[in-house]
A and B are shown apart, each in its own frame.
Chain A
Amino acid sequence: MKDKKQQLDAMIHEHQQQDSGVTPPADLWAGIESRLEERPVQQTATPIATKWWFAGGLSAVAASLMTVAVIVGLQSPVTKQPDVSEWYLLAQQMNQAQHQQVDAMASGYQLAGYEMTQNNYIESLASLRNAKQQLLLSMQENGGDAQMIDMLRWINEQEIQLLKHAYQQQPVLEEI
């Protein structure tokens, strides 16, 4: 029995020292790759102070243009692509309007002197956009339905709420 104990200990030791990997009998990569979500493009970190200097005058114009763009975007008919469902087209239109609204809000907050107080804002926003991207992709492939439109609306609402929370701090008064 003592010999067998030593033999087992030797086997464990050998296992730890040597390559203990096992080759999968089938290729698993294809199944994995098909489930990998696209990563949201990371925004380049720009110092807030610098951003504000540039944002000052331009943001007013940008915000106005975006507000107009939102209105125009909502009114413009979307050109129907072949083999694309009406649900997906609606989702695209909602997404476009949401994107413009979010940009306009961010510019407006910055113009008014609000600071972004939530450090993980970009990460949280990226998660939401990632979820939205998956939803849109699914709708593009499967056509979508009213439930998915509701889900998209919910994600968009969360995005707006997140933006509001990210700019909670009082305006910073600059010395004259």
Chain B
Amino acid sequence: MSETTDIALAAKGDKAAFKRLYDRHIRNVYGQVLRLTADASLTDDLVQEIFVQVWRSLPKFDQRSKFSTWLYSLANNVAITELRKQTRWFKRNQRAAEQEDPHRCADLEDGIDLGALDQLVIKLPEQTRQVFVLHALNNYSHQQIADLLGIAEGTSKSQFHRARNLMQEWL
């Protein structure tokens, strides 16, 4: 069954069709969210929330746009929004900005098979990592990132350069 057909069926309430869409995209959505959170447990929760929201929003999806683009954009928005909602957001950001501990993701690397780039990405401090993922891997502009993360455009640029410098040091 084609993806277009599955989208139409799922929009009308066909859960089997929605499962097929899930199977097609779960790995990319999971990878994307994991890069943003660097936390497997949190990623599990967020990915479930994302697919529930996809289910709810599917009837409004305009089939003229590309489904994967719409899906990954929704995934980014949900992930960042949920992260920001968390009460520990500011504390985690402060802590992440102050310390860079390349070993803090050791557990994550042990549990999940990550590519070479991802192994570096998850070691980045939180905001630095999110900026890098959105700009370098998702082609978001710095202005878009600034709007999404609630930071200045200049901060996004500086965090991106910081991410590159750190990753180059770790190579």
* Residues of chain A at the chain B interface (Cβ within 8 Å): 1, 4-5, 7-8, 11-12, 14-16, 19-26, 28-29, 31-33, 35-39, 41-42
Contacts and interface: CB of A to CB of B under 8 A. Distances in A.
A35 B48 contact: yes
Contacts of B47: 24, 28
A8 B22 contact: no
27 contacts: A1-B168, A5-B168, A7-B171, A8-B167, A8-B168, A12-B117, A15-B118, A15-B137, A16-B137, A20-B115, A21-B31, A22-B113, A22-B118, A23-B30, A23-B113, A24-B26, A24-B30, A24-B47, A26-B44, A28-B26, A28-B47, A28-B48, A31-B48, A32-B48, A32-B52, A37-B55, A37-B56
Counting chain B residues whose Cβ lies within 8 A of the other chain, the interface size class is 35 or more
B15 to A, nearest CB: 6
A15 B30 contact: no
A138 B159 CA distance: 46
Nearest to B10: A39
Contacts of A4: 168-169, 171
B136 interface: yes
A11 B168 contact: no
Nearest to A31: B48
Contacts of A42: 12
Interface of B: 12-13, 15, 18-19, 22, 26-28, 30-31, 34, 40, 43-44, 47-48, 51-52, 55-56, 59, 111-118, 120, 136-137, 164, 167-169, 171
Contact of B111 (A5, A8, A25, A29): A25
A33 B118 contact: no
6 smallest beta-carbon distances between A and B, as pairs:
A21-B27, A39-B13, A22-B31, A4-B168, A11-B117, A21-B28
Contacts of B56: 37
Contacts of B30: 21-24, 28
Nearest to B15: A36
Given A16-B137, A21-B30, A24-B27, 9 more contacts: A4-B168, A11-B116, A20-B115, A22-B113, A23-B30, A24-B43, A24-B47, A25-B112, A37-B56
A122 B6 CA distance: 23
Contacts of B15: 33, 36
